[in-house]
Amino acid sequence: MSATQAIAKSSADGKPKHQRKLVNAVWEPFLQFKLLMYMLGLTAIVAVLLGAFLYMAFGNLIGSMSTSAGGTSYYQDEINMQLIHLFRYCGALFVLYVLLLAAVCVAYTHRLVGPFRPFTRHIEELAKGNYSHRVTLRKGDVRMLNEYAEKLNELAVHLETKDKHS
């Protein structure tokens, strides 16, 4: 049994000492916003390039359809309606994409930055002389950080046994 599993089972009521709250999803708002802006910027560049490609590909077709008849034709009206629908659908998809992108940015940075809170609490407790404190991380946290949590817990065990023998 690892040290993090032992401390999770050692609490009196079976719950971790620090309850997680939904409000804590936004721990580093500047980092999360910055990541979102980078992703949106790259998306805008791709959208502009795609728009230029589509304009070059279909611009001649639309131009020839609109100038072929002297007045307004059925095909010209149909093309205009389809373009309006296309822009509406693209706008709705873009809004959905931005919302999903924001959710991914918050979730990813939460999983990446979140474990530093227990690390900070653990180091503060060790500095106070409380060597019985252990780091507990969530299941979904980055696996590499679990290795650091284990090493910090081993250090706490070493300091605790050293303190008892002194």
Give the total residue count for the chain.
166
Residue 9 pLDDT greater than 50, yes or no: no
pLDDT tens digit sequence for 34-61: 888 888 888 889 888 888 887 787 777 6
pLDDT tens digit sequence for 57-100: 777 766 666 565 555 677 777 877 888 888 888 888 888 988 88
- Which is more confident, 59 or 28? 59
Query: Hey, where are the domains in the chain?
Result: 25-113, 114-166
Three state DSSP letters for 47-94 = HHHHHHHHHHHHHHHHHHHHHHCCCCCHHHHHHHHHHHHHHHHHHHHH
